[in-house]
Amino acid sequence: MCGRFTLTTQAAEVARLFEVDYFEPDALSPRYNVAPTQGIPVIRYDERRGGRELALLRWGLMPYWVDEPSSWPTLINARAETAHTKPSFQDAFADRRCLVVADGFYEWRRESGRRQPFYLQRPDGLPFCFAGLWEHWERAGETIESCTILTTDANGLVAPLHERMPVIVSPEDHRLWLDPGVRRHEDLEKLLKPLPDDELIALPVSSYVNRTDHDDIRCIEAITP
């Protein structure tokens, strides 16, 4: 799964790396412990303006047809294998796909009765994109835009920590994933695979990250296990 991640890269650099056309230069501040229900950075295709937009959406997808938001569960993840068939995700999978920008994420391994956190990132430290889905909910003048992150089977690096991992979309596949003209799961399933083991590294970090109100560089500082 993916329940916490980081993004410390500035919006202008995200825009440059991922060909974003529309963004606010001060839209992002360094985040070391992004948690569910918070606003998270996504790239989506804006059909009205004909380009990629960087937006902040609430993490925890709420379909447009929900009547009462307060009773709806926080859907932070969706299984890539079945999202296209599940009522909560199938419309977004066909029509509202996005890329969730991150430069690392956390997983926990059980060790001697405690949970040891690990920070996973690219060897070069550069940002990357999770496969995401987004929704627009509106009732009586209230609007909520929300999103979820797709997960797949863990690769060899992540498997000792958790059986699932976020889908990380390769840069050459970003255009296909965001293409509003592509709607079928069959045309997209090749993207929804575990990342090769050697494209991430995992570093043990302190339990400081366990608290969601801790959001500074100490969250990602490696420790000696």
| DSSP track, 64-105 | TT-S-GGGS--B-EEETTTTTTSTTTHHHHHH-EEEEEESEE
Task: Show the beta-strand stretches assigned E in 93-156.
Answer: 97-102, 104-111, 114-121, 128-139, 142-153
Choosing from 2, 98, 147, 219, the catalytic residue is: 2
Q: Which two structure tokens, joined as six digits, stand for 30?
A: 């360094």
As a whole number of angstroms, the distance between CA 24 and CA 31 comes to 17
Which of 107, 135, 147, 219 is flagged as catalytic?
A: 107
Tokens found for residue 3: 């329940």
Tokens in use for 97?
A: 């796909």
**Residue 178: in which H helix or E strand, if any?**
helix 174-178
| Phi, psi for 145 (deg, rounded to 5) | -105, 130
Active site residue 129: no
CA-to-CA distance for 117 and 107, rounded, in angstroms?
6
Instruction: Tell me, yes or no, if 221 is annotated catalytic.
Output: no
Measured over the CA atoms of residue 165, residue 170, residue 173 and residue 178, the dihedral's sign is positive
Closest by Cα among 141, 152, 18 to 77: 152
Active site residues: 2, 107
